[in-house]
């Protein structure tokens, strides 16, 4: 009998709570806007933004994650997650929660 171990990919939703109208979040992601502004991380609460709170702080530092999202946004990687056919784009909580954390 052969045993095959399949490594599960670690996703943001495995370590964090990700939802809208989340006033207790560590930081927020702009959910709607232009291709350039959607996905912008911010420290200011808005019920329209996607809130992210790190639940496993022994594994992931909230401040580090904020800077990681700043890098993802400034490098244009979050742009690929945005949807919409007009100038108004949006990104979903599922898209944010499904971001891989193991670099793949």
User: Which pLDDT score is estimated for 81?
Assistant: 87
Question: What does the alpha-carbon distance between residue 30 and residue 90 come to, in Å, rounded to a whole number?
Answer: 9
In the numeric block, the tokens 């599922």 are attached to 94
Domain tally, the chain: 1
Which CATH number do you get for residue 41? 3.90.220.20
pLDDT, mean of each 10-residue run, the chain (104 residues): 57 95 97 91 96 94 96 90 86 93 66
In a domain, 2, yes or no: no
In a domain, 5, yes or no: no
Q: What residues contact 92, with CB distance under 8 A and at least 6 apart?
A: 31, 83
User: Which pLDDT score is estimated for 2?
Assistant: 45
Structural domain boundaries, residue 50 = 12-97
């Amino acid at each position: 009998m052969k045993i095959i171990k399949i490594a599960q990919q670690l996703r943001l939703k495995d370590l964090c709570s990700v939802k809208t109208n989340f006033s207790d979040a560590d930081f927020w992601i702009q959910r709607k806007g232009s291709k350039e502004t959607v996905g912008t991380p911010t420290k200011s609460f808005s019920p329209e933004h996607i809130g992210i709170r790190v639940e496993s702080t022994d594994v992931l530092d909230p401040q580090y994650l904020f800077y990681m999202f700043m890098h993802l946004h400034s490098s244009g990687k979050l742009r690929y997650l945005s949807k919409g056919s007009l100038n108004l784009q949006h990104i979903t909580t599922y898209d944010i929660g499904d971001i891989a954390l193991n670099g793949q």
